[in-house]
Each structure stands twice: as structure tokens, then as C-alpha cells.
Amino acid sequence: MSQKNNENENNKDINDLLEENKIKGEKIIDDEKVKVEQGKNYIKIKKVLPLILAIIVSLGVGFYGGKEIGRSLPATHKSYSKSQVIATVGDTKITGDDFNKRMEPLYYYQGLKKLSNEEIETYETNTINYMTNLEVLYQAAKDEKLTVTDDEADSNYDTTMGSIASTYNMSEDEFLKKFDLSKDYVKKHLKKEMIATKYLTENSEVTEKEAENYYNKNKEDFKEISASHILISNYDDNDKEISDDKKKENKELVEKVLKKALAGDSFEDLALENSDDTYTSSNGGDLGFFSEGEMEDDFDEAAFSLKVGEIYPKVVETSYGYHIIKKTGEQYSKFDDLKESLIKSLSSDKQSNILKNAQEKYKVKVNM
């Protein structure tokens, strides 16, 4: 596993480990403003306000997971030398023994599925990233003398082991024995995760006032426009891409319709008569309001270059076909509508910076 691959995956895996401790960062998809794509007849929509990759910790891949139950031996298995130093975080060593305790339940989780070498490397990369990121945040938390009570740790342990028992169809004792774990070992690492989580949470809080200040200073980023379009689709009724000859015919047709629109013919009537976007054609091609970055790039660039009431003077091609575009309005998204997602986005930015700074301070080195 190369160091480059490790860096490329550094944040990606952590987002998958957030569920248990309820820290949602980049990406909190359910709070993003995402328009619904209406099949081939609608413009391809991108996510708005992408949030920074979520940083940190829950029990995650090491002790938790699994869809199937009751199996004895996994199809994939790989052991790691217990004495090998897999990674270092400052003076702290992560050994092959620690890594085994994280990976073995994961291999068991796969059941009868035989993992490819690439899949194994991905799991290894994600796991070691999780472990090193956890350690740097834990060390940062220790420097601030953060802790959690034994009662809190015990409660977390009980909840976790209860979930594991149902997931793996094993009792607590069976699970611990199966994966060469002890109650104290699991409690110790759960407590470490809780402390790291507490550090990250307390240092990444964003107030409503902070979010409002950001909104006011960056208001242009929250500009929305409305537009209508006429689509000549490059797909047939079976959603298959048409031939090049048919595309040429479509291009000639859309050019004729564009000339009529620029000459003053009713855009609404032209959309009703010619647009293949059946979702919008009956409403004059109205796409409603959208932010910059939501539409496919060429469509987006053309629409945002127009003045209200203006028709783009050229045919715009996207993966859906050929478009005629008219800008119909503009406005700014209201702060109250964005407040919650903006707070989460700014908090996630802080989380990303916290992790980056901790990685630099405590010097992570991966030896795989």
C-alpha cells in the first residue's frame, strides 16, 4: 500500500465511520439542497453547497458491522504480524496486533464473498486512516485535558456490545473470544474514541451568528437564478442513445427552434411544441430556481451569463441533448433556508482543519 494511496483516501473513509457518535460533517447529504433528477428528460443536477469531508470517529470498521450472521470462516482472511509497526503517530505505535483486531471482524463481515486484492487494500487503507486520525485527535484532546466519565464509557460499551450481539448473532463473550478481544481492550478504545469525538465536537461548533456573518460576506455565492429550456433529447424512447445521423438531424431542428425564439416567438409555446423534457414542457420549460454549480457545466455557464429575460444565442449541448436556454429571474437564497446546512458546512470545515493541524503536529507515518 503506497503512502500516496493512503493520503488520497485519508478523509474518504472517515465519513463512513460517523454513525454511532452522531457527528455528521462533510457530507450531510440529507441536508444538502439537491434537486430531483427526472430521468433522461431532465437536466442532470449536481449537489449544492458540498460539505467538507466528515472527520472522525465512531466504532466503525474495527468492532462493528455485518449484514449476514451465523457463518464460521470468512472467504477472505489475511493476518498481520503482531510485532510489525503499521504506523506511528508521534511516539505512539500502531502495531499489527492492533490492526488485526480491527481487520478480522471486517473479514468476517464479508462472509462468503472473496475480496479482490484491490478491495483488501481499500479496506486496509480506510482502516489505518481511521486509526491514525483517531490517534492524532485523541492526542490533541489529551493536550487539552479532555476526558469522559467511566459511566459514560460504560454506557457506550453496553450500547455497542448490544448492537454487535444482534449484528453478528453472537453473545458478547462469543464475540470477544472470536476476535481475541477483551472487555478492557474494547472499553479502552471506545473511551479513546469518545474523547477524540468530544475534542472534535467542542472545537468545531459554529454559532448562528458566525453562519450569518459568513452568509453576508459571501452573499454572491448564494445567488440563484430561474431559467426555462427547450430540450431536444439525444435518447430514444427506450433510453438508448441515438445515432450520429439522428443527432445531426436534432441539431438542425434545435437551431431552427432557436432562431424562432430569438426572433420573438413565444418561448412557452415553442417549449410545449418541441421540448422532449416532458416534465417541464407543459409549463413553458420552467426549471425553477437553481444555484451555480447545480446544473451540468455548459448549461450552468450559459444560464448564469444571461440577463433576466434574455435567451442564450447558441444551442447548448449536455449529456441529455441540445438545449435552448432563457433566463427568467434571479434572487438570493434566504439565510433562514440555508442556516442549518451552512452551520454544518462551516463546522465540517473546522473539523477538516482540526484534523489537518493535528496530523501535522503529531506527525503521522504509515509503514504499509
Average pLDDT, the chain: 81
Phi then psi dihedrals of residue 347, to 5 deg: -65, -40
SS3 of residue 93 by DSSP? strand
List, in order of start, the domains of the chain with CATH numbers.
3-203+342-366 (1.10.4030.10), 222-332 (3.10.50.40)
Task: Let me know: does 327 contact 309? Beta carbons within 8 Å.
Answer: yes
Average pLDDT over residues 227-256: 96
- Nearest partner of 133 among 4, 12, 26, 19, judged by Cα: 12
The sheet that has 85-89: what strands, in order across it?
A: 92-95, 85-89, 364-366
- Nearest partner of 220 among 297, 332, 334, 346, judged by Cα: 332
Phi then psi dihedrals of residue 205, to 5 deg: -70, 140
Q: What stretch of H or E contains 85?
A: strand 85-89
SS3 of residue 88 by DSSP? strand
Q: In terms of pLDDT, which residue wins out, 63 or 168?
A: 168
Determine the pLDDT at residue 185.
92
Residue linked to cell 510485532: 83
Helices (H), the chain: 3-8, 60-63, 96-110, 117-143, 150-168, 172-178, 183-203, 208-217, 244-262, 267-274, 297-304, 335-362
Tell me: pLDDT of 22 over 60: no
SS3 of residue 99 by DSSP? helix
Q: Which range (76-85, 194-203, 298-307) has the least confidence?
A: 76-85
Task: Let me know: does 81 contact 42? Beta carbons within 8 Å.
Answer: no
Q: What percent of the chain shows pLDDT beyond 70? A: 80
pTM: 0.67
Tell me: pLDDT of 247 over 50: yes
Determine the pLDDT at residue 253.
97
**Confidence label for 73 from pLDDT (cuts 50, 70 and 90):** low
Determine the pLDDT at residue 84.
93
